[in-house]
Amino acid sequence: MAGIYIHIPFCKQACHYCDFHFSTSLKYKDEMLHALISEIKLQKGYLNGETIETIYFGGGTPSVLDGDEISRIINTLTELHTVSSVAEITLEANPDDLKPDKLKALKQTPVNRFSIGIQSFFDEDLVWMNRVHRGQEAESSVKRAQDAGFENITVDLIYGYPMLSDTKWKQNLDKVFELNVPHVSTYSMTVEPQTALAAFISKKKQPPMNEQQSAEQFIVLMDAMQAHGFEHYEISNFCKPGQYSRHNSNYWKGVKYLGIGPSAHSYNGDTRQWNIANNAKYMQALETGKLQAETEELTEENRLNEYIMTSLRTIWGLELVKLNQIAKGASAELLKAAAEYFDREWIIQKDNVIYLSATGKLYADHIAVGLFF
Is the C-alpha dihedral spanning 15, 21, 25, 29 positive or negative?
Answer: negative
pLDDT band with cut points at 50, 70 and 90 for residue 19 = confident
**118 neighbors 97 (Cβ within 8 angstroms):** no
Same-domain check for residues 231 and 311:
no
Domain end among 237, 253, 269: 253
269 within some domain: no
43 lies in the same domain as 137: yes
Asked if residue 93 has pLDDT above 90, the reply is yes
Please tell me whether residues 223 and 347 are part of one structural domain.
no
Task: Report the share of the chain in percent with pLDDT over 70.
Answer: 100
Query: Is the pLDDT at 46 greater than 90, yes or no?
Result: yes
Which of the four pLDDT bands, split at 50, 70 and 90, describes residue 21? confident
Are 16 and 97 in the same domain?
yes
Outline where 315-361 has alpha helix (H).
320-326, 330-337, 339-343
Residue 45 clears pLDDT 90, i.e. is over it:
yes
- The pLDDT score that the predictor gives to residue 23 is 87
- Cα 210 from chain centroid? 23
Domain of 109, CATH number, reads 3.20.20.70
CATH code assigned at 318? 1.10.10.920
The confidence band for 20, taking pLDDT boundaries of 50, 70 and 90, is confident
> What is the count of structural domains for the chain?
2
Q: Residue 277: is its pLDDT beyond 90?
A: yes
> Is residue 262 in a domain?
no
Residue 233 forms part of a structural domain:
yes
Residue 158 falls within a domain, yes or no? yes
Structural contact between residues 222 and 315, judged by C-beta atoms closer than 8 angstroms: no
Residue 81 shares a structural domain with residue 230: yes
pLDDT of residue 359: 96
- 245 and 365 share one domain: no
Is residue 147 assigned to a domain? yes
Q: Are residues 215 and 306 in the same domain?
A: no
* Whether residue 79 sits in one domain with residue 220: yes
**Would you say residue 288 lies in a domain?**
no
Does 70 fall in a domain? yes
- Say whether both 223 and 313 belong to one domain: no
Same domain, 313 and 174: no
Q: What pTM did the predictor assign?
A: 0.95
Please report the pLDDT score of residue 26 as a whole number. Answer: 87
- Please enumerate, as own/partner, the contacts of 275-283 that have beta carbons within 8 Å and a separation of 24 or more: 275/39, 277/21, 279/9, 279/23, 279/28, 279/32, 282/35, 283/28, 283/31, 283/32, 283/34, 283/35
pLDDT tens, 165-201?
999 999 999 999 999 999 999 999 998 998 999 999 9
In a domain, 267, yes or no: no
pLDDT for 286-338, tens place per residue?
999 999 999 999 999 999 999 999 999 999 999 999 999 999 999 999 999 99
Confidence of residue 146 (pLDDT cuts 50, 70, 90): very high
Among 17-31, 95-109, 335-349, name the one with the lowest average pLDDT: 17-31
The larger pLDDT score, comparing residue 24 to residue 72, is at: 72
Last residue of a domain, one of 193, 228, 253: 253
Confidence of residue 18 (pLDDT cuts 50, 70, 90): confident
Are residue 309 and residue 246 in the same domain, yes or no?
A: no
Domain interval for residue 345: 300-370
Given 235, 253, 271, the domain boundary residue is 253
